[in-house]
Amino acid sequence: MSKELILYGVKGSPFVRKVQVVLAEKDVDFTLEPVSIFPAPDWFTEISPARRIPVLRDTSIGSEGRAGTLPDSSVICAYLERKHPQPALYPSDPFPYARALWFEEYADSELAGQIGTGMFRPLIVARLMGKDPDVDTARKTFREKLPPMFDYLESEIAGHSHLVEERFTIADIALGCQFVNLRHTGARIDSAKWPALAAYEASLLERPSLARCLADEQKLFKPVDFDL
Contact of 119 with 198, CB cutoff 8 Å = no
What percent of the chain is predicted at pLDDT more than 90?
90
115 with 175, same domain? yes
What's residue 2's pLDDT?
A: 59
109 with 204, same domain? yes
10 with 66, same domain? yes
203 with 100, same domain? yes
What's residue 1's pLDDT?
A: 45
Q: In total, how many domains does the chain have?
A: 2
109 with 144, same domain? yes
Q: Which of 94-98, 130-134, 159-163 has the lowest mean pLDDT?
A: 130-134
The C-alpha atoms of residue 40 and residue 59 are separated, in whole angstroms, by 22
In a domain, 115, yes or no: yes
What's residue 228's pLDDT?
A: 76
Averaged over 197-223, what is the pLDDT? 95
193 with 130, same domain? yes
- The CATH number of the domain where 59 resides is what? 3.40.30.10
29 with 72, same domain? yes
In a domain, 88, yes or no: no
The string of pLDDT tens digits covering residues 164-173 is 999 999 999 9
110 with 212, same domain? yes
159 with 140, same domain? yes
The string of pLDDT tens digits covering residues 36-70 is 887 888 899 999 999 999 999 999 999 999 999 99
In a domain, 123, yes or no: yes
In a domain, 41, yes or no: yes
What's residue 137's pLDDT?
A: 96
- The CATH number of the domain where 186 resides is what? 1.20.1050.10
What percent of the chain is predicted at pLDDT more than 70?
98
Q: Read off the pTM.
A: 0.96
Of 57, 83, 109, the position where a domain reaches its end is 83
Q: Which residues of 107-122 are buried (b: 16+ CB within 10 A; e: fewer)?
A: bbeebbebbbebbbbb
* CB proximity list for 161: less than 8 A, separation 6 or greater: 167, 203
Note down the domain range covering 134: 94-218
pLDDT higher than threshold 60 for residue 209: yes
Of 48, 83, 118, the position where a domain reaches its end is 83
List Cβ<8 Å contacts ≥24 apart for 49-55. 52/15, 53/8, 53/9, 53/10, 53/13, 53/15, 53/16, 54/7, 54/8, 54/9, 54/13, 54/15, 54/16, 54/19, 55/7, 55/8, 55/9
What's residue 36's pLDDT?
A: 83
Of 83, 102, 117, the position where a domain reaches its end is 83
pLDDT higher than threshold 80 for residue 223: no
In a domain, 224, yes or no: no
43 with 143, same domain? no
Is the dihedral angle over the CA atoms 179, 181, 186, 187 positive or is it negative?
Answer: negative
CA torsion 152-75-215-135 (nearest 10°) is -50
45 with 109, same domain? no
118 with 40, same domain? no
> How many helices (DSSP H) and strands (DSSP E) are in the chain?
11, 4
In a domain, 227, yes or no: no
In a domain, 225, yes or no: no
In a domain, 61, yes or no: yes
Contact of 147 with 114, CB cutoff 8 Å = no
